[in-house]
Amino acid sequence: MTVREDRIRRHDGSAGIYGVIDKPDYALVIPLDGDRLMLVEQFRYPLGKRRWEFPQGTAPDREHLDTATLAARELREETGLQAATMTKIGSLDCAAGMSSQRGHVFLATDLTEGEPEREPEEQDMRTDWFTRAEFERLVRTGEITDAQSIAAYGLLLLRG
């Protein structure tokens, strides 16, 4: 991650400064088995809280990975699942007003279970299956607040 300030010229010709956070693109995976969705729960340091969300992440040391490969890696790493079918269902701009980072959302189906291969900072991660109704209830009650997960679920719903 890098943080920079760019000197800009506004539409009216006045000078300004724009702060930008540059981060590599990330992949977010919705593991779907029938009516069940697998989520991961982990401690999110900036919030000081544990949060449920879909598996997601970047590969800053391997930025050249195509997003489908990154998605499969994140799924296996965080959940132990492998998907016979991985379908890209959309993209998300994480925080377009301050960051160049983009997310790529994949639907993972035809799943096979295995052991997670978590990174050191993911050692406290937990996984669980939730029905779509349970997921929606947790969003409504504020127990799931991850913006990318909620937006990704919206992309899933729009697929029909």
pLDDT tens for 10-60 read 999 999 998 988 888 899 999 999 999 999 999 998 899 999 999 999 876
Q: Mean pLDDT in the chain?
A: 93
Whether the per-residue pLDDT at 160 is higher than 80: the answer is: no
Whether the per-residue pLDDT at 64 is higher than 80: the answer is: no
Active-site option among 74, 117, 119, 122: 122
Examine the residue annotation and report whether 122 is marked as an active-site residue of this protein: yes
What is the model's pLDDT at position 138? Answer: 98
| Residue with more model confidence, 28 or 102 | 28
Distance between CA 59 and CA 67 in Å, rounded? 10
Whether the per-residue pLDDT at 120 is higher than 90: the answer is: no
137: confidence class by pLDDT, cuts 50, 70, 90:
very high
Whether the per-residue pLDDT at 153 is higher than 70: the answer is: yes
Whether the per-residue pLDDT at 111 is higher than 90: the answer is: yes
Global pTM?
0.89
Q: What is the 3-state secondary structure (H, E, C) of the chain?
A: CEEEEEEEECCCCCEEEEEEEECCCEEEEEEEECCEEEEEEEEECCCCEEEEECCEECCHHHCCCCHHHHHHHHHHHHHCCEEEEEEEEEEEECCCCCECCEEEEEEEEEEECCCCCCCHHHCCCEEEEEEHHHHHHHHHCCCCCCHHHHHHHHHHHHCC
Q: Which of 57-66, 97-106, 138-147 has the highest mean pLDDT?
A: 138-147
Whether the per-residue pLDDT at 63 is higher than 70: the answer is: no
